[in-house]
Amino acid sequence: MLKWAIIFAAIALVAGVFGFTGIAAGAAGIAKFLFVLFLVLFVAVVLIGLLGAKAISSK
């Protein structure tokens, strides 16, 4: 998912350089959404991993 966020960010940068503002804005919006989604999923997995490790070690 982070890969797709980086791809859309690159598309937004290239489109912005060439003056395609509509495409740049759309690609930037998608990149922001995917990055936030990736970040939320990453934090959730880290928390589940930490809580799971504590539950296993306490037995």
pLDDT per position as a tens digit, 20-53: 888 889 999 999 999 999 999 999 988 988 888 6
Q: Is the dihedral of CA 30, 34, 40, 44 positive or negative?
A: positive
Separation between Cα atoms, residue 41 and residue 14, nearest integer Å:
28
Which residues neighbour 35 within 8 Å (Cβ) at sequence distance 6 or greater? 2, 5, 9
pLDDT at site 50: 86
**At which residue do the structure tokens 């995917």 appear?**
34
